[in-house]
Amino acid sequence: MAPAADREGYWGPTTSTLDWCEENYAVTWYIAEFWNTVSNLIMIIPPIFGAIQSVRDGLEKRYIASYLALTVVGMGSWCFHMTLKYEMQLLDELPMIYSCCIFVYCMFECFKMKNSVNYHLLFILVLFSLIVTTVYLKVKEPIFHQVMYGMLVFTLVLRSIYIVTWVYPWLRGLGYTSLGIFLLGFLLWNIDNIFCDSLRNFRKKMPPIIGVATQFHAWWHILTGLGSYLHILFSLYTRTLYLRYRPKVKFLFGIWPVILFEPLRKH
């Protein structure tokens, strides 16, 4: 975490229970953590296009919700890192729980009839979200949130491993790429937390461009944003395979992955 001695800016004193390693208001007076803020664009813009494409393709609403939930996380994180206000912190952290619950629902409903609804699983996930929200608002302990979020991610990892091991082994590349990118982001998140003082001292001695490259919490946003986006593609690929579609991952401009498919023609 960041040392206590940080300058104030447009949004006033920090009220969040977390203040990350990036130097506050170092780039502009209007944004507390500039790089931690703008790095959220990867979680905001691509999922919006994913949601629009999902609507056009007539996909089940839960996949549209998955894309939009990731966008909400990115917007909440933008507001949090821009202001370092407690209310904005909640706008970041609570949607992380809700979006993961949507991901869990999608992953466990991949092999059901089209447009079916699992009310038991919905009830469990909604109840889990309500309990986490209520407890977190009471205790205000970030570690509690991190453990609950970790439980959901671990559930997604186990389900993904089951699918690529026993159901669709040819999806290992997409599944493990999503997981690997996410875990790399998690590694950098920990490095940023544990070695914050060393990183700050290093940045003071280095040219600005190198200093930016060591903003590991911003890299956490980029990598987990990409990892989460790829997870949605993995979930959607699994689902459309089961529904006997022809999904394919294409790269827009040779860079950004999207999923395209068409229904299986009847002869």
Which amino acid appears at position 244 of this protein? Answer: R
> Which residues in 23-174 belong to E strands, given as ranges?
none
Point out which residues pair with 260 in neighbouring strands. 248
Q: Is 93 labelled as part of a ligand binding site?
A: no
Q: Cβ neighbours of residue 200 under 8 Å, at least 6 residues apart? A: 3, 21, 23
Establish whether 19 is an annotated binding residue: yes
Is 231 annotated to bind ligand? Answer: no
Instruction: Report d(CA 57, CA 55) in Å as an integer.
Output: 5
Q: Angle at Cα 142 formed by Cα 6 and Cα 25, nearest 5°?
A: 20
Q: Where does 95-225 show beta strands of DSSP type E?
A: none
Q: Does 115 carry a binding-site annotation? A: no
Q: Is 60 marked as binding a ligand?
A: no
In order, the DSSP letters of 212-252 are: HHT-HHHHHHHHHHHHHHHHHHHHHHHHHHHTTB--EEEEE
Do the annotations mark residue 92 as ligand-binding?
Answer: no
Which residues define the annotated binding site?
19-20, 22, 24, 33, 81, 217, 221
Which residues define the annotated binding site for Zn(2+)?
81, 217, 221
Which residues define the annotated binding site for Ca(2+)?
19-20, 22, 24, 33
